[in-house]
Amino acid sequence: MLSVGTSGGVQRKKLFDRLTKPDYLMVYATIGIFILIYAFGAILYGHKGFTSLRTFMLLFSDNAYIGISAVGMTMVLITGGIDLSVGAVASLTGMIIAYGTSVMGLHPLVCISIALLVGVSLGALMGACIQYLNVPAFVTTLTGMFFARGVCSLISRDSISIKHDMIDSLAGFKLYFKWPNELGEWVKIKPVASVDLNTIMFVVMIIIGAVILQKTRFGRNVYAIGGSAQSANLMGLPVGRTRVMVYAFNGLCSALAGISYVLYVKSGWNLALMGSELDVISSCVIGGVMLSGGVGYMVGTLMGVLLKATIPAIITFNGAMNSWWAKIFTGLLLLLFIVIQRLVVSATARRKNK
Amino acid sequence: MNDIILEMKGMEIAFPGVKALDKVDFTLLKGEVHALLGENGAGKSTLIKCLTGVHRMDAGTILLEAKPIRPSNTQEAQRLGISTVYQEVNLCPNLTVAENIFIGRQPMKRGRIDWKTMNKRASELMGLMGMDVDVTRTLGTCSIAIQQMASIARAVDVNAKVLILDEPTSSLDENEVQHLFRVMNDLKQRGLGIVFITHFLDQVFAISDRLTVLRNGKLVGQFETSKINKLELVTSMIGKDINVIYSLKKAQPKEDAPQVLEVDNIGIPAKVEDISFDVKKGELVGFAGLLGSGRTETAEMLFGVTHPTKGEITVHGKRVQLKAPLDAILQKMAFCPEDRKRDGIIGDLSVRENITLAVQATRGFLHPMKRKEQEELADKYIRILSISTPDAEKRVGELSGGNQQKVILARWLATQPDLLILDEPTRGIDVGAKAEIQRLMLEMCEEGKSVIFISSELDEIIRCSNRIIVMRDMSKAAELDGDTQQAEILKIIASEDEKEVSA
Amino acid sequence: MKRKLAGNAFLKSKLFWAIVAEFLILLVGFILRPDFLSIQLRTLADGTRVLYGTPIDIFNRSAEITLIAMGMTLVIALGGTDISVGALVAVAGAIALKFLRWDVLIYNTPGDYTVKPYFYAIAVPLIVCALMGLFNGSLIAKLKIQPIIATLILMVGGRGIAQIITNGKQFTTQYSPFKFIGNGSILGIPFPIIITLVVVVAVMVFVRKTSFGMFVESVGINPSASRLSGLKSGTIIMIVYTLTGFLSGISGLIYSSRISSNDSNNAGLGYEMDAILAVVIGGTSMTGGKFSLFGTVVGSLIIRTITTLVMYFGVVSEAIMAFKALIIAVVIVLQSEPVRNAIAKRRERRHLNIGGEMHA
């Protein structure tokens, strides 16, 4: 009998094996470095309130639009593709909502529906182009980016602010963290920390993304395509349909990110979110998503977004440091993670050869 | 007959410049292991690809359980019950073993994948095949044996009637092979028809019931395994070439000719072992042996493609370290690789550019040849090798296989090498071009160059070589005189016990 | 007969259609506004005479992209992409202004400009950008990292570096030798055009008069066969990325000279996209292999002509992106594999016919 791994019921070893799967290494690296950097910030600026729940919650709400977009991007990257259009599509969403409500006087819900539809169809169109015309994802989505940006500017060149009760109330929605005081009454903690709609959307999307990836056939097909599209095809999986749907889902995520951004800034601007596609992709890479495809977890992406958000937070708390150091540190982080990825890949290859 | 499960009749397919299958018949019975044999380019994989819908055949019929089928892609073939397990396992390395068996058909519970049931069933399936495996392991971290079993488990579980195993044993160790054979026997009992493609003859005799031999796209014959011996089998695979047209005169190196190349005990552990030989000026040394016997691996070490971890290579009496092909080229060596498409031609460049590439590489890009020089060089070799192309500016990708091969040859001749290594230079090209290339090799020897000639066709090796080195099992099995009879070489290749012969 | 065949091939080439497209766009401009094509000699306030007019403006303003696109052509021919070029433009500007305003930055008092800083202001940005290109190339050649990801690092980090160099400040310079780079002219021809011409010719000579171009194509088409033929692909990759970095540096100097300032946020923004677009329009395929530098120049001119034309008619400059997108969409669909296969099949059939005749 050939046997591998565990024979018999040594459950603990099995659990250990499962936890030390090489795929998880990247996620562990992300979590580890996040803890290190967070601890670093806590030691230096703990007294200024860096460790407060409020600061922590801001990491979520200030970066919700990046995070929501990263959910879709994670899926695209797992298939081995890339999408450069996410920032522009999000920006277009913002313009549609702003122009629709403020200039045309439409109800925000109508505008939001239109925006979501536009996002999904643009995504599906790009996916079809990549799948059926064999155009590299990079070129296709770059074109998509130009197109969406251009349409933004055709709609309006100026920033349009949004004044609508519904948007205001959505943006103003907050769940406060409370604790009982000496009298047993529930009062807001100090400094006041809250959960806003953006944070909820972010977390919900991460959960939805994780469920899709881990619990549906579609999600597993996404991994299979990234592992080997040719094999997936030979195994009879619907490669074409899956790939198109992944880009459509990413379009949906971009539109949702745009809505989240609208709630954040309450305006639409044709140049909004310039270059944010890089923030999104970087977050995913830092979160352990392999750009060569096939490997990535939503938990990793969540941690990647938070880790990437922690750096500017620390720099803000420092006060003296130029905010541009954030870019350099992000670049260094990327370099670090790409090198780690390389090492993991070659280590896995070695393990296989044994 | 009821127990014929698959029948292919009069299969024909042509690729530009070569007839890949020429009226090939093949029958597979229910509950048999049928070995499909032949050297590279014989048409085995083309036949299988017709069956699985990768290639469209030009003529012929396929009957599955007496019903005609014509699958247009692999999925369709799979649905019809024809599953293939490839040599490089076609699964997703990033998924777990269990997922690879069940992906696309995972058990669901309340709309979600039921991982627990899936893992349990996968465990059972692997258990049935005698594998006690943690099915939650990522496939890529498992041994090839396990990957193959997972692949077979998947194929069997989707109700395959015909299972094609394409070189399944080439990366397995002895124990794993035995295990695979037990599984194959078990599947046979269950009534599957198994097509077993391999180049290990011992395994053919160990497991197969019947066998079919192809050669140069033609059917050589179908045999009962028990009624054929190894020598007969090898003869049918690489023996007499029926297409001898030209008579050739062997090169005649001088007795006292200097050594061009001395190879002392080079090897890469676990790949190729302990190769020693030498080549004299003006001599043609043939390398015989079956595919995977270490012929190509030796050539790659000589040319700096792979790096031997032990032993010494001496060129013109000087010990050399070959870190990259360029080092070998600078030592006046040249290498026409086996896979012309992948390692030889630069398809989108012109004939002229392809011919001048290696010369230019030795000069460095800062010392370019003048355009006129290039054209002269290209025209010269187009003339010498009678490459049929309208002019030197034609894209090489648009030429026929034989002419592409000549262009690669021209690339190397242009570097004025002292030693040419030709790996299967005549494979997959038509008879005329074959004879021409053989003639060219001998002319080069006349001019005082030395040639190492690797081929699967014993005939041409015997016809051209001054000495013959026989390779078997990744090491040198024998070194013979050029006048050796074919039967003797066949005996060595077919030999069971290597130690008896290598003396 | 050979010549005639070559002529036919040219008619079918992507480059030919790119040139046709350029003329069509110019023609549209001319029909809509007859003065679109006029060129005149104007005398400026300081007495210098310069050529003036839309065509000149197109050549002048396309300089930055054309320069980068030269390098990008080779990068794409190798089957790669370099998305860090825009960030390098910003870095070059920052370093140049740092040296030009040495007085302010170091001594905190405005003082005389000396010759030395000017030399440094030109040389150091170019060297630094070339080194950054080398960094990209090393990641790709030595660590075997995908080009997009390798260059993503500097794309993200580069602007940060630019900002750090000048402490996040924006400087302006009135130093006329520096301003001359982007705004001056020789014999009436704007200096950026002259720089571009010199660089384009130099790159073309380097690539085509040596065997470098053939090596690049060879590695881009078939890396494995190239290695077996003795090419050192690592060296070739590193040279190409270093060159691209260097050209981005020149582009950065022109840009910062035009605005007499450094602008780490906006300098070179989106240049990587424009450069890639120029290469693709010019007929070089994204999958690598054969390339055409001249085609890239035409591609860059097309992009600039569209921009100029659309702006001429009052469309906001940001909206030009939508037009660009439509054009690139047409180009990539025409270049896509299924479409090309269909065309190739037709050609093959014709080729077979010809072959049959020859045998007969």
8 Å CB contact between A162 and A263: no
Specify the higher pLDDT residue, C192 or C175. Answer: C192
Residue A224, domain extent? 26-38+50-342
Specify the higher pLDDT residue, C95 or B40. Answer: C95
Give the C-alpha separation, B205 to B192, whole Å.
Answer: 19
**Where does B30-95 show beta strands of DSSP type E?**
33-37, 59-64, 67-69, 82-85
Neighbours of chain A (3+ CB pairs under 8 A): B, C
Question: Collapsing DSSP states into helix, strand and coil, what is residue A295?
Answer: coil
Q: C24-77: per-residue pLDDT in tens?
A: 888 888 888 787 777 877 777 777 777 778 888 889 999 999 999 999 999 999
* pLDDT (mean) for C148-170: 85
Whether B178 contacts chain A with CB within 8 A:
no
* pLDDT (mean) for B7-11: 89
Query: How many domains does the structure of chain A reveal?
Result: 1
* pLDDT (mean) for B156-178: 80
pLDDT bracket for residue C340 (50, 70, 90): low
* b/e code A116-154 from CB counts within 10 Å (16+ = b): bebbbebbbbbbbbbbeeebbbbbbbbbbbbbbbbbbbb
ipTM: 0.81
* pLDDT (mean) for C319-339: 72
**How close, in Å, is residue A302 to chain B by CA atoms?**
21
Q: Is C138 exposed, middle or buried (0-12, 13-18, 19+ CB in 10 A)?
A: middle
Task: Note the pLDDT of residue A13.
Answer: 63
Q: Is residue A13 part of a domain?
A: no
Give the C-alpha separation, B20 to B41, whole Å.
Answer: 8
- Cβ neighbors of A174 (< 8 A, separation 6 or more) are A194, A195, A196
Place of tokens 């750096």: A311
Task: Note the pLDDT of residue B40.
Answer: 66
Task: Note the pLDDT of residue A223.
Answer: 94
8 Å CB contact between C119 and C50: no
**How close, in Å, is residue C286 to chain A by CA atoms?**
8
CA A153 to chain centre: 26
Cβ within 8 Å of A, C 119-158: 139, 143-146, 148-150, 152-158
* pLDDT (mean) for C347-351: 59
Task: Note the pLDDT of residue C195.
Answer: 94
pLDDT bracket for residue B45 (50, 70, 90): confident
Query: Using CB atoms, which residue from B103, B134, B138 is nearest to A224?
Result: B103
Query: Using CB atoms, which residue from B305, B342, B349 is nearest to C218?
Result: B349
Q: Do C153 and A326 touch (CB under 8 A)?
A: no
Regions of chain A short of the pLDDT cut 50: 1-9, 353-354
8 Å CB contact between B304 and B325: yes
> CB neighbours (10 Å) of residue C99?
21
A150 contacts on C by Cβ (under 8 Å): 318-325
pLDDT score of B317 more than 80:
yes
Q: Is residue A11 part of a domain?
A: no
Whether A150 contacts chain C with CB within 8 A:
yes
B112 sits in which H/E element: strand B112-113
Give the C-alpha separation, A333 to A315, whole Å.
Answer: 15
- One fold for both B4-238 and B251-332+418-503? yes
- Closest residue, chain A, to C335 (C-alpha): A135
CATH class name, domain B4-238? alpha beta
Q: Looking at the DSSP assignment, which residues form a beta bridge with residue B138?
A: B96
Cβ within 8 Å of C, A 191-220: none
Dihedral of CA A45/A50/A51/A52: which sign? Answer: positive
Q: Is residue A4 part of a domain?
A: no
What are the backbone dihedrals phi and psi of residue B334, each rounded to the nearest 5 degrees, phi first?
Answer: -145, 150
* pLDDT (mean) for B69-91: 82
B320 sits in which H/E element: strand B318-320
Q: B439-497: per-residue pLDDT in tens?
A: 888 888 888 889 999 987 787 888 888 899 988 888 888 888 888 887 888 888 877 54
Give the C-alpha separation, B406 to A212, whole Å.
Answer: 55
- Closest residue, chain B, to A214 (C-alpha): B113
* pLDDT (mean) for C280-297: 87
Give the C-alpha separation, C83 to A282, whole Å.
Answer: 14
Return the CATH architecture of domain B251-332+418-503. 3-Layer(aba) Sandwich (3.40)
- Cβ neighbors of A156 (< 8 A, separation 6 or more) are A95, A98, A99, A103, A268, A270
A129 contacts on C by Cβ (under 8 Å): 332-333
B270 contacts on A by Cβ (under 8 Å): none
Q: Do A234 and B99 touch (CB under 8 A)?
A: no
Q: Do B179 and A2 touch (CB under 8 A)?
A: yes
Mean pLDDT for chain C? Answer: 82
Give the C-alpha separation, A264 to A272, whole Å.
Answer: 12
- Cβ neighbors of B263 (< 8 A, separation 6 or more) are B275, B276, B277, B278, B302, B311, B312, B313, B314
8 Å CB contact between B94 and B142: no
Closest CA to C160 of A106, B248, A291, A328: A328
Domain ranges of chain B: 4-238, 251-332+418-503, 343-416
Query: Using CB atoms, which residue from C145, C287, C323 is nearest to A150?
Result: C323
8 Å CB contact between A110 and A280: no
* Helix, strand and coil percent figures for chain A, each rounded to 5: 70, 5, 25
Q: Is residue A269 part of a domain?
A: yes
pLDDT score of C5 more than 50:
no
Specify the higher pLDDT residue, B285 or B249. Answer: B285
Query: Using CB atoms, which residue from C146, C167, C318 is nearest to A149?
Result: C318
Give the C-alpha separation, B291 to C41, whole Å.
Answer: 75
8 Å CB contact between A131 and A79: no
Task: Note the pLDDT of residue C72.
Answer: 95
pLDDT score of B234 more than 60:
yes
Give the C-alpha separation, B367 to B376, whole Å.
Answer: 17
